[in-house]
Amino acid sequence: MIKALIGYGVSAVLLFFAVLFALASVYAPMRIVVSVIFFFAGFFLLYIVWKRQPTKIVQKVEVPGKIEVHEIKCPNCSASLDIRRSQVTNGIPTIKCPYCGHISEITEEPKW
Ligand SMILES: [Zn+2]
């Protein structure tokens, strides 16, 4: 979401310069070329941001079917862990043991 906001901000600046150069082209006709470049850059950036918008990061753990079958156990105290308590930290799905507080990464191939 922050990236999209930056994208909108930068494209707004680019379009602002495009308008500025378009107005300035009254005095120097070559500036219309710069204006067109800014216009294209601005709209291209808007297009990229708009296209990327639907693929925003969803805080949802995609648990592979393999893990759902196996029981997840804490590698520290071997207590069984509830997969529904898992959280996404820095893009890595993790689960915190409610008994000992050990945080384990949920990987496709469980090491425990
Ligand atoms: Zn534990």
Record the pTM.
0.40
User: 59 CA distance to ligand 1 centroid (A)?
Assistant: 24
Q: What is the mean pLDDT of residues 30-37?
A: 84
Q: Where are the chain's structural domains?
A: 2-55, 65-105
Distance 94 CA to ligand 1 centre (A): 13
Q: What is the DSSP secondary-structure string of 20-59?
A: HHHHHTTT-TTHHHHHHHHHHHHHHHHHHHHHHGGGPPP-
- Gap from CA of 23 to ligand 1 centroid (Å): 67
Reply yes or no on whether the pLDDT at 84 is more than 70.
yes
Q: How far is the CA of 85 from the centre of ligand 1 (A)?
A: 13
Residue 107 CA to ligand 1 center (angstroms) comes to 17
